[in-house]
Structure 1
Amino acid sequence: MIEQFFPELKRYAEDFVASYGYTAIFLISFTESIIQPIPPYPFIVSAPFFKLNVYMAGIVALLGNLLGALAAYYSASFLGETFVKRLLGEKLYLKGESLFNKYGFFAVLIGEPYKLVCWLSGIFKMPPLVFLIASFIARSIRIGAFVFFGNFLEKFIS
């Protein structure tokens, strides 16, 4: 779906991973937690095509996602409600507020898009450790699924 809206960005990301490997996956994961639309998952699954280890790609993506999540969380806390409302829009902000008030920890576990969850966690003052634990669980499960399929693909093409 991303390629329909951002075909040049998709090609750039593929070239970036082909050229820089794990560093590119880390940066894509880091920035995806903050603002950019390209997720790291296709690069985890296709790691064998880039001559990368799928498990290492998953670990690197997880670290990038979590560090990016903390960057978005603390940016939201620092920049404040007015900035985040402008960034997300009033409607999305209010929907997120309702979600966080109702579900808290579980909003981080199941919430998507993840970048939205990260910004809202910071603005609604979720305790940082709680946010990090929920993010670790959610991202580990999601990235783990892509590692599983990437491992299967690697065995299939070998």
Structure 2
Amino acid sequence: MREVLLSHGFSSLFLMSFLAATLLPIGSEWLLVALLLVKKDPVVAVAVACAGNYLGALTTYWIGIYGGPFLTERVLGLNEEKRGKAHRFYERFGAYSLLFSWLPVVGDPLCLVGGVLRVKFLRFSLLVFAGKLGRYAAVAWLTLQGKALF
């Protein structure tokens, strides 16, 4: 499977990043690291990963606005406990909690809660994109620094 994903390069990275922010409990960072280790352009790799992950988060946001319980519970698998945790996090830190939409477990529910609470699209976009860009840029930088050591 790894070879198939690597052979498709940036398309695989986009798809994995998108799915990581929506339907499946998967990570896309490993593929970013693998592509950087085979000398893919780091700026393009970070841009592709960030775009895919942002669009996945945007899908979750729209489901929060327009989706019903079937979509949120059955399709996204976000149970009441996860939504409650994200809602409490959101209440505590406000819209700025969307900067943490890249975190495992609470990230997707934060985007969903952002949609349910009707956070303005521009605010949602700026905060979520900044958080995701920061995460992927940090992973790329750490990978390249670690690669330089060896």
| TM-score bracket for this pair, using the shorter chain length | 0.7 to 0.9
Deviation at 1:85, TM superposition (A): 5.0
SS in 2 for 1:44: helix
**Do structure 1's residue 58 and structure 2's residue 51 form an aligned pair?**
no
Distance 2:95 2:4 in 1: 34
Question: Which of 110, 116, 119 in structure 1 is aligned with 2:112?
Answer: 119
Residues 38-71 of structure 1: CA deviation (Å, up to 9, x unaligned): 2221222222344422221111001111111111
Distance 1:120 1:107 in 2: 11
**Do structure 1's residue 99 and structure 2's residue 89 form an aligned pair?**
yes
Higher helix share: 1
Partner of 1:73: 61
Partner of 2:8: 20
Q: Tell me if structure 2 keeps the 8 A contact 1:81–1:123.
A: no
CA-based RMSD of the aligned residues comes to: 2.1
Deviation at 1:72, TM superposition (A): 1.2
Gapped runs of 5+ residues in structure 2?
none
SS in 1 for 2:24: coil
SS in 2 for 1:104: helix
Residues 2-24 of structure 1: CA deviation (Å, up to 9, x unaligned): xxxxxxxxxx3x23421210000
Indicate how the Cα distance of structure 1 residues 20 and 82 shifts in structure 2: closer, same or farther if over 3 A, else same. Answer: closer
Shifted more, 85-94 versus 66-75: the winner is 85-94
Indicate how the Cα distance of structure 1 residues 73 and 16 shifts in structure 2: closer, same or farther if over 3 A, else same. Answer: farther
Partner of 1:4: none
Identity %: 24
**Do structure 1's residue 129 and structure 2's residue 117 form an aligned pair?**
no
User: How many residue pairs align between the two structures?
Assistant: 145
Q: Residue type of the partner of 2:90?
A: F
Indicate how the Cα distance of structure 1 residues 48 and 124 shifts in structure 2: closer, same or farther if over 3 A, else same. Answer: same
Indicate how the Cα distance of structure 1 residues 23 and 31 shifts in structure 2: closer, same or farther if over 3 A, else same. Answer: same
Question: Which of 32, 39, 49 in structure 2 is aligned with 1:44?
Answer: 32
Distance 1:82 1:96 in 2: 19
Q: Which 4+ stretches in 1 moved above 4 angstroms?
A: none
Shifted more, 110-119 versus 26-35: the winner is 110-119
